[in-house]
Structure 1
Amino acid sequence: MAKTIFEEMGGTYARQGDYLLPCLFLPAEKENKPIGVWGQRHLRYLKQHRKVLYTNLLTSGKLNSYLADIDEQAEDLFFRLVNQMVEREGVTEQLKMENQMEWVGRMNNIHGSAMEIVNAELIYS
């Protein structure tokens, strides 16, 4: 019996009941970087809205490194935006000592604004 193309390329089959199914494995990723909150959000977005890109990254073995890169970019952008907004709006340690509630409110507003920008620019695009 002639070998199939899959067998000629070194593939093997496993018997599952009456069927022979190919033994397929995803390629191992070279780097296994941790994925943070931003990367997890982008992963969820890819799974729901960009299924083809998600499948291509998964099957090529590049998904984890892609998500780690997105996470790093988002984290850098978030902190840079927060620092710029704090300077622009004049939220200082002096304000924190004088009126803590106002400082907390302004910082929460800044964090929320920066989070929306990062989500729009990197995570959900």
Structure 2
Amino acid sequence: MTSSPTQGIKTVLYPVSDLAAAKAVYAALLGVPPQTDSSYYVGFEAEGQHIGLVPSGGQQSLSASVAYWHVPDIEAKLAEMTAAGATVKEPAHDVGGGRLVAAVTDTDGNVLGLIQDR
């Protein structure tokens, strides 16, 4: 069973306790202002990477940073990964604009995120 190849890690989300303070730190680190700036998500685009800040306990309830692998077919990749031993933590769902996200845990409990863009 093989699906389309992954396109690499392009997105990393970080849970933060103080969104405003974290936004200042990441803007200083990346040298750019946020591209998306809301009360529930702040996102930066820098050097082909997307860095997202998510308030702790927010919609995504992240407790640690999660790298998101971009894939052309999220359902096929989920099937392939679960057949190989991963466990679905967050089923594929639309987060807006046709972008689908999902998350699995590997056999040691590490969280791996998946993103499929339109």
TM (normalized to structure 1)? 0.24
**More strand as a share of residues:** 2
**More helix as a share of residues:** 1
Higher normalized contact order (CA 8 Å, seq sep 6+, divided by chain length) = 2
TM (normalized to structure 2)? 0.25
Larger radius of gyration: 1
